[in-house]
Amino acid sequence: MFGSKIAMLAVAVTVIGLAAVPVSMALDDDVKTYDLSSVEGTVKAFVCCDEDCDCDDCDERAGAFMLETDDGEMIRVEFGPWWYWETQEITVRDIIEVGDEVNVTGELVEEDDVTVMEAWVIKNLDTGEDITIKVEGCPPWAGGPIKLGIEPWPPSEEED
């Protein structure tokens, strides 16, 4: 009798365990995997890439910089919208200047024949300082300027 109780318990545990496997597998399907890379190079210029500016100009609304690698490849390193950085105590421009050697970790993508690094972490190799742009999940600027309390939005022309 004692043996049959243990056997029934073992069968119950096995059935519950097997039933849980598809649930855990289904949950794993929803997890996004990130393909992070690192590149090193020299910051050549800060650039802006928003609807109000040409990507090659508009330095005051910088949300990216151009990075030249040792082999001469140019990569646009995007670190988020200018309006987000205007609300932060420490910004990318506090850590990085044109001419600095940097290491950038993030997601490399191709956009319109341009290699783009969507930065997660930028380390200034000249000073040893670094800044975390984002971690897994949504970037800190998700939801836009109004959700972050940046008002009035859009900024008026008078403020420029």
51 has pLDDT over 80: no
CA distance 16 to 18: 6
Centre a 10 Å sphere on the Cβ of residue 64 and count the other Cβ atoms it contains. Answer: 25
26 has pLDDT over 50: no
Label residue 67 by pLDDT band (50, 70, 90). Answer: very high
94 has pLDDT over 80: yes
139 has pLDDT over 50: yes
Average pLDDT over residues 100-104: 98
In the prediction, which pLDDT does 4 show? 60
Is the pTM higher than 0.85? The answer reads no
In the prediction, which pLDDT does 77 show? 94
Q: Share the mean pLDDT of the chain.
A: 78
Q: Six-digit token pair at 55? A: 């990507």
CA distance 130 to 113: 29
CA distance 73 to 124: 19
Instruction: Please identify which residue in the block is written with the tokens 């939801």.
Output: 143
Label residue 45 by pLDDT band (50, 70, 90). Answer: very high
Give percent of the chain with pLDDT exceeding 90: 39
**SS3 annotation, the chain:** CHHHHHHHHHHHHHHHHHHHHHHHHHHHHCCCCCCEEEEEEEEEEEECCCCCCCCCCCHHHCCEEEEECCCCCEEEEECCCHHHHCCCCCCHHHHCCCCCEEEEEEEEEEECCEEEEEEEEEEECCCCCEEECCCCCCCCCCCHHHHCCCCCCCCCHHHC
